[in-house]
Chains A and B, each alone.
Chain A
């Protein structure tokens, strides 16, 4: 089951440059929330603060309060523990190049010491089914490497890999920007099904995509969260002039 996310007074920095300014947001459990905004506005930085990927960059730091369900992200939780509950799908599909399809999906469990073969088979099957890839790869699970799949398949493989560790939240950082329209359609369909079980936060450059998949949308500009509301409201009747300019294509 998914859990909600609360963010209070979040500031993020790269060295001396501040990338996020006092972001506050509440994400509802089992919904999809989209984050839109022009390039460099901080939406990727924001999403990377939710699973502490931000701090893997040298000299990057964060202050503020983030809670995932009852878990305090920056207070007493280890980053690895947290990331098992908050999965992530990246902009460019990044399967482990030397691993088979099976091992890619099983990696999260295997590398954390999980060895029960039967259970692993089950998890791999279930995860690939959830990411709508099972039928395409079931005959070559061990024979083919993850890198040999097409771009769209690779991205669904990465989704399966994230789901295999049974997270409660799934973060997607522009998951379709490297994919063709057909693959994009498949991933969007997937998001629709996945939000029954997971809370989804998706960063996207594509406003139609936000409108199609998300119940809530946040608009970022220059590191600030300008407006956060129901998707419908953001796209039809935004409260802020800047949001309106952006969604109607007048700038950005």
Chain B
């Protein structure tokens, strides 16, 4: 029956010309093609990493520290752990500061001070990562007198802040004013409204910003060169030089040894898997959190 209805409806409208129908298909095709073009490099990288790296990933790679040159085997366990420690420090520092700055910009920064912060944060976003490494070197390493996971974490945190701040701001601005007014209207104070209503409403967007920033710095090498520095052995102390996957990949990739090249590929694959895993885990956790707590 519904088909009949639509036929009578169409009957009163002139038929769509062949030219328009062809154009429709062509444009749909072009759109699909661009999607393919965008996704192709990503899949190509994935495929190539798996092809090159999967063979070198084994229990030893995930549980042992690097072996001296010439000795076969060994792994990047200390670098995997080191990366996690450095990223944890970076997130602990960068996420609250970034979200805090975003809240300021959106809720209290619709004025000159806000414009200044916005400008500075955009400039910071454009500062080369190696320069940020030097800043962390001056701030932390010079003072502590040695390289450390903390210094690496600080460098990465500085890189996370502008991205998180600006996306948080944008996401909070998307929350309709009516939602804030609803909270004010039942006697909720401004700061409580910001934290429990506005930020809560924007959670998924804010998380996206945080994960973007996280994924971006997780693979950074330059800022770690003279902050975390790298380490061939296990180290759990945050004030000591610490290995990181990206550093290890860098060292191994530019070495002249085939064995190390293979391990560098494996390290790169592990790094990507860790980043994708972390982003996915946070997404799932948030989704369950919102459902249960809503």
Contact = CB atoms under 8 A, between A and B. Distances in A.
Interface of A: 51, 53, 56, 58, 79-85, 87-88, 90, 92, 94-100, 103, 107-108, 111-112, 145, 158, 161-162, 164-165
Given A97-B179, A98-B201, A112-B192, 8 more contacts: A56-B181, A82-B187, A83-B187, A88-B185, A96-B179, A96-B197, A98-B200, A98-B294
Nearest to B180: A56
Contacts of A84: 186-187
A158 B192 CA distance: 19
A97 B204 CA distance: 13
Given A94-B176, A100-B294, A158 B182 contact: yes
Contacts of A164: 186
A98 B203 contact: yes
Contacts of A165: 186-187
A145 B294 contact: yes
A96 B178 CA distance: 9
A141 B142 CA distance: 58
Q: Do most interface residues of chain B lie in helix, strand or loop, or is the interface mixed?
A: helix
21 contacts: A56-B180, A56-B181, A80-B187, A84-B186, A87-B186, A88-B186, A90-B181, A94-B181, A96-B182, A96-B183, A97-B179, A100-B294, A103-B294, A111-B186, A111-B193, A111-B196, A158-B182, A161-B182, A162-B186, A164-B186, A165-B187
B194 to A, nearest CB: 11
A95 B182 contact: yes
Contact of B187 (A90, A103, A108): A108
A96 B193 CA distance: 11
B119 interface: no
Contact of B192 (A88, A97, A100, A111): A111
A236 B192 CA distance: 48
A87 B188 CA distance: 12
Contact of B178 (A79, A94, A112, A161): A94
A104 B262 CA distance: 56
